[in-house]
Amino acid sequence: MQNALKAEIKRLASRAFKRAAKQARVEASHRRKFEKRTGVAAGLPTPSVTSHPHRHFDPRYCARNANFLAKTLWHKVLTYSYDPLCAAEHLLPKPDGSTRPVMAFSIPDAALANVVLRRTRDRNLKRLSPASFAYHPDKNVFDAVLSLREFAHDGRLFAVQIDFEKYFDLIPTRYIEAKLDDANEISLTPHEKHIFNRFLRHRSRLASDYATGPEKRRHKGTPQGSSVSLLLANLANDDLDTALSTEAGKFVRFADDVVALCSTYEQAQQLEACFHRHCDASGLKINEAKSPGIAIIANTQQEMRTYGHFDYLGYRFSTSGLSVTNKAARRIKSRVSRLTHIYLNQYLLAGFNTSRTSVTSPVYDWDLLGLIYELRNSLYGGLSEEELRSFVEGGRRLTSMKGLMGFYCLIDEPATMREIDGWMLSTVRRAMAHRNRRLGTLHGVSCPTPSNRQLATGEWLDVRAWRDDEPPPDARMPSLVRGWRAARKHYFTFGLEDVQAPDYNRYSDIGSLFDY
């Protein structure tokens, strides 16, 4: 165990070094782009003063002293004196304007949590419900979606969806501790049980005022930001899994997101009753405002509440198959709008390098070309138009399937993608017209103002503007539908082999899949 802790501390420290190096590269890249676009020298970067709330948060210190830290940590566990160092609490903004508290634990504490999670999870893997798909080493979002889609209903489809109120924040600690003490629920050594109990009641301070701020101790919920929260959150809903599995129909649970399907209203009532009984026993609360409850899934109005679809894990389920949710479409559009503004208009007030664009022969705009390549990289998960064409038309296998490309492969209905493609062309076209007006007003120059067709075909760029010693760029706007066609062919040809599924932190936030 001590050797495993030492290796994990070094791994986490190394990951912190890589993250810092990546951030430095990104900042240098932004400086270069600013200078190219504006012709103005970027200001000197603010000298970085690395500050850590405690030396155990410092990857350099932890990497140098990994052996000592692992030995000390394990001694505390063996003597039942272990208590995590006071965590740094970060308040992350949520779309509704509220914040989500996320704990940053010290590197040694995070290493201990990771090692203990892997050991306890692997030992108890067979005890987990087969309908629980989160935090499972052999299951992912795709497995959950496919399992739900496979439900064969008898003519009518009833869906039961219940949303728990602040699930991770409000799980009663006493309820989880009772589960940890129950050998029939989970197999733990006394030392592992001690570690879980200490994380359940860990100390924390706000990261913005860690040195002098007031210290508080957790008395409910699980510590989001620590890997032990994964197993504890699954354990808290294990009784719900057992109850739902005894009823007719089928259910899928991914962390706190549960959907149950059945064929009759009576069955749906029994499934719904399972949720209420579980909340009464556990102390969890149902979010009435966000819980659809029981509904018939149909294309025409029925005798009770009828929905044409239900949304789950970023996908829209309907009688015609899987499609993109409205929420996912909005987030994709938001990301496209942001990139469009950054590339085409954000820097114009600071200055402009007139060599970046020309409306006379040859016609070019390097900022527009950069935007197209950025969007293509995001929408296709790093693949090029040529790679998609070679696979769809010639069968040449794709080198990877990740990000939004991976998300595409299960989609059956591309109508929303077609709408986003058209919207994307119009948005970039309008942004170029606005860019042209601002360039004329601010700098007395012009830029191309291509039509939707010219953007779609790439005809807006005169390839003579490109260097002769390199192949000309592909100036076509990317297309979600083209990406979907390639992803679907890959899925039907190879299944989900080599398709990188989004992890738990990304599955419901499709906009974040651009980060792949």
* DSSP assignments along 295-344, one per residue: EEE-SS--SS-EESEEEETTEEEETTEEEE-HHHHHHHHHHHHHHHHHHH
Residue 33 in tokens: 């782009």
Q: Is the dihedral of CA 204, 208, 212, 213 positive or negative?
A: negative
Q: Confirm if 508 and 313 have CB atoms less than 8 A apart.
A: yes
Co-location of 307 and 337 in the same domain: no
Co-location of 232 and 338 in the same domain: no
Give pLDDT tens digits for 482-496: 999 999 999 999 888
**44 located within any domain:** no
Residue 210 in tokens: 């860690």
Co-location of 301 and 385 in the same domain: no
Residue that finishes a domain, picked among 319, 342, 369: 319
Model pLDDT, residue 305 = 80
Angle made by CA atoms 470, 476, 480, in degrees to the nearest 5: 130
Co-location of 315 and 330 in the same domain: no
List of residues 6+ apart from 419 with CB closer than 8 A: 329
Rg (CA), the chain: 26
Residues 412-417: contacts with CB under 8 Å, at least 24 apart = 412/320, 412/321, 412/322, 412/323, 413/318, 413/320, 413/321, 413/322, 413/323, 414/323, 414/480, 414/481, 414/484, 415/323, 416/323, 416/324, 416/329, 417/324, 417/480, 417/481, 417/484
Q: Confirm if 296 and 307 have CB atoms less than 8 A apart.
A: yes
456 has a pLDDT exceeding 70: yes
**33 located within any domain:** no
**38 located within any domain:** no
> Residue 141, Cα to own-chain centre: how many angstroms?
11
Q: Which of 92-96, 168-172, 278-282 has the lowest mean pLDDT?
A: 92-96
Identify the bridge partners of residue 324 per DSSP, sorted by sequence position.
Answer: 315
Co-location of 313 and 374 in the same domain: no
Q: Confirm if 374 and 367 have CB atoms less than 8 A apart.
A: no
Angle made by CA atoms 151, 156, 162, in degrees to the nearest 5: 65
Average pLDDT on 97-106 reads: 87
Residue that finishes a domain, picked among 284, 302, 319: 319
Residue that finishes a domain, picked among 319, 354, 369: 319
What percent of the chain lies above the pLDDT cut of 90?
A: 53
Co-location of 482 and 387 in the same domain: yes
Co-location of 231 and 327 in the same domain: no
Co-location of 228 and 371 in the same domain: no
Angle made by CA atoms 75, 79, 80, in degrees to the nearest 5: 115
Co-location of 137 and 169 in the same domain: yes
Question: Cα-Cα-Cα-Cα dihedral of 89, 93, 96, 101, to 10°?
Answer: -10
pLDDT confidence bin for 69, thresholds 50/70/90: very high
pLDDT confidence bin for 270, thresholds 50/70/90: very high
**32 located within any domain:** no
Co-location of 343 and 305 in the same domain: no
List of residues 6+ apart from 336 with CB closer than 8 A: 375, 424, 427
**367 located within any domain:** yes
Model pLDDT, residue 513 = 47
Give the up-direction half-sphere exposure of residue 407: CA atoms within 13 A in the CB hemisphere.
32
Domain that holds residue 366: 323-513
pLDDT confidence bin for 503, thresholds 50/70/90: low
Whole-model pTM: value is 0.85
**23 located within any domain:** no
Higher pLDDT, 333 or 497: 333
Helix (H), strand (E) counts: the chain: 18, 14
Number of domains forming the structure of the chain: 2
pLDDT confidence bin for 502, thresholds 50/70/90: low
Q: Are strands 306-307 and 293-297 parallel, antiparallel or unpaired?
A: parallel
> Residue 355, Cα to own-chain centre: how many angstroms?
38
Q: Closest by alpha carbon to 474, among 357, 358, 383?
A: 383
Model pLDDT, residue 395 = 83
Co-location of 310 and 327 in the same domain: no
**473 located within any domain:** yes
Q: In terms of residues, how long is the chain? A: 516
Co-location of 371 and 303 in the same domain: no
**169 located within any domain:** yes
505 has a pLDDT exceeding 70: no
Higher pLDDT, 431 or 102: 431
Identify the bridge partners of residue 307 per DSSP, sorted by sequence position.
Answer: 297
